[in-house]
Structure 1
């Protein structure tokens, strides 16, 4: 890092051509107009909670174990009861709040393993015999805060100001997802909202993280083009393969209780999921061409394109495996269940659950493959003949989050 901070854009070779800004400015304006048009109104309200049990926080003060009368099919904590001191929330719907309750020890698939002193989450069920509490989970708020703090410290300690800007970009991403994309989907907006939200995230985060300059602008244009192609390909694949977006109880519940178009939700997920890998590839390709142009200013556009493409091919080969493994890992329990209950491999692959993972992987890969030549070619045209930069201002590529 040279022991001092470089302002954003100081290490960018050359200036962004006027033609690039003439393309980028209308896109940014169109994105802003689309956000205003699709911005959710006050009509979006939380669900009334019907069909869901009230949750309470508590702490286990004592355990009383007993011998099981019948053998448990999935023994986690054994038989017995736990005495739990309950926290009373301000909006407690109970007519007569209680300070403690005696609840049975949780057992079964996914049941939390509990000990005395554990902070737990309970639900209140209405039964013919009266109210009944059950332990369903552990409280994780404190642990997540500690983990997030360690993440922030690591980013700032290693990345310094680049780390701070990356964290700011991450904050912008969450804000746009939570306050624009998700509420707009709940309000019934079309899948277009995912492309608009992704464009807004990319235009804000890339410049915030990497600074205003030629290489960032090239990466933005390459990402926009590849993201649009990804959206079109995903729409075509979902329609041609008759995918509904409903593969489990969660997606079914979202569609039934919130009235969300699950097919559109699938498209939105593919587009947003692809963005994180796309901007990594485009920023890397743009910065690679910039460094090649600095190292040999005599290189022409064709030489820069060929050299940058060789790096891009290696990058794509590794990223594709990463994408497939990420989707396979997220669907591993379902994959095991399907394989265990299906005789032929063909039936496994064509099952809608696996087919959706395949579509996500293939469409994201096609978008990445297109991103490399698009970004590399544009960077070669824009950055050719860049002057050699001093050592202390050599460009660095900050990692994507």
Structure 2
């Protein structure tokens, strides 16, 4: 049992630790806030480009009939518009062959000038509002049932982080603000909101903030060096080329993507390492800083081993069509890996992984020192 003197000593030590953390974290939070204010886009081109031509409208309806394909490759498809009129619609064969069914809700482009051609309705996209909202609802329900209040707080942090991307980062980048400054300010806001909302404000979570910030700095430096060293331009995709009309440095935008790619995983490993060290300290109050660090790194090395293939598999899963298209070409495996689009993703994965790996011993060391204090 602690004496009154012991309790007073421990509370005094905790206050000193909190003060030292505040000396480090408060300037970081202020820099993030100042960055958000100074870089906030007063006049952004976001949302300024019309989605379709003035004479064209987007209509919705349901597929009622999928006929046979004739010798020319055309398929007779009909849909019932929401207004109650059944009309023919032109849908590309690759859409028909890969998921179109009777009863599907779709969006079509209606061009009045093409009424005389017989195909004024052209497939635009599927309507996905209901499936997406149901999946979001299921996700929130599962998180709530399993993780309860902390899970809901984490979802709130995720929502706020996404709001930072949509409301601040995208408009600021389109407005021509410095991409690196924008992503650093945005990543700082996302880091604070996601960690503090999900886990509360405490010495433990502030330690995770310090570890995450260190990992972001390492990732940013590596991203800048690797992009320049590997001659990556960020101009190899059609979506990137569509931004050339705006005052944006695409190579810097690529660096920003690398920094953001590692943020979520950084939050995960830093919180885990801090919690591990604190639990070790609770189980063995007499453990030294070095003992806490060594024991924490046992878990940290397992975390490193798992995250190495987690990030790699995540890329392979999202880039599978690109990899298959590259695989059919007659060239060596190494030559395929060094092609522009694939090299960008490889560098992105490696940079995020290196930042993640280095953040683990950094966070564990900080946590061991503060937990011992």
TM-score range, shorter chain: 0.7 to 0.9
Q: Take 2:207 and 2:145, find their aligned partners in 1: how far apart are those partners?
A: 29
Other-structure match for 1:351: 339
* Count of matched residue positions in the alignment of Structure 1 and Structure 2: 355
Other-structure match for 2:372: 384
Deviation for aligned residue 1:137: 2.7
Deviation per residue, 1:158-202 (Å, 9 max, x gap): 111111211211111111111011111111112221111011111
> Are the structure 2 counterparts of residues 100 and 257 from structure 1 closer, same or farther at C-alpha, using a change threshold of 3 Å?
farther
Note if 1:117 corresponds to 2:118.
Answer: no
Normalising by structure 1, report the TM-score. Answer: 0.82
Q: Contact (CA 8 Å) 1:342, 1:348: kept in 2 or not? A: no
Other-structure match for 2:4: none
> Are the structure 2 counterparts of residues 348 and 51 from structure 1 closer, same or farther at C-alpha, using a change threshold of 3 Å?
farther
Other-structure match for 2:303: 315
Q: Contact (CA 8 Å) 2:176, 2:246: kept in 1 or not? A: no
> Are the structure 2 counterparts of residues 317 and 348 from structure 1 closer, same or farther at C-alpha, using a change threshold of 3 Å?
same
Deviation for aligned residue 1:250: 2.2
> Are the structure 2 counterparts of residues 378 and 67 from structure 1 closer, same or farther at C-alpha, using a change threshold of 3 Å?
closer
Normalising by structure 2, report the TM-score. Answer: 0.88
Q: How does 1:106-145 map to 2 (within 5 A)?
A: 106-108=92-94, 113-125=99-111, 127=114, 132-145=120-133
Q: How does 1:74-223 map to 2 (within 5 A)?
A: 79-86=75-82, 99-108=85-94, 113-125=99-111, 127=114, 132-191=120-179, 192-223=181-212
Q: Take 1:305 and 1:314, find their aligned partners in 2: how far apart are those partners?
A: 14
Other-structure match for 1:30: 31
Deviation per residue, 1:323-347 (Å, 9 max, x gap): 0111121111111111211421121
Deviation per residue, 1:191-247 (Å, 9 max, x gap): 221111011111122111111111101100010011011111101111121111123
Q: Take 1:295 and 1:213, find their aligned partners in 2: how far apart are those partners?
A: 20
Deviation for aligned residue 1:65: 2.2
- What stretches of structure 1 of length at least 5 have no aligned partner? 1-12, 73-77, 88-97, 386-401
Q: Take 2:230 and 2:277, find their aligned partners in 1: how far apart are those partners?
A: 38
Q: 1:230 aligns with which of 219, 229, 246?
A: 219
Deviation per residue, 1:115-140 (Å, 9 max, x gap): 44321111235559567211243211
Q: Of the two structures, which has the highest relative contact order with CA contacts closer than 8 Å and spacing of 6 or more?
A: 1
Q: Take 1:177 and 1:166, find their aligned partners in 2: how far apart are those partners?
A: 17
Q: Take 1:107 and 1:313, find their aligned partners in 2: how far apart are those partners?
A: 49
Other-structure match for 2:313: 325
> Are the structure 2 counterparts of residues 69 and 319 from structure 1 closer, same or farther at C-alpha, using a change threshold of 3 Å?
same
Q: 2:361 aligns with which of 367, 370, 373?
A: 373
Other-structure match for 1:362: 350
Q: Contact (CA 8 Å) 1:246, 1:262: kept in 2 or not? A: yes
Deviation for aligned residue 1:381: 0.7
Deviation for aligned residue 1:41: 0.9
- What stretches of structure 2 of length at least 5 have no aligned partner? 1-12
Q: Contact (CA 8 Å) 2:76, 2:88: kept in 1 or not? A: no
Q: Take 1:263 and 1:42, find their aligned partners in 2: how far apart are those partners?
A: 23
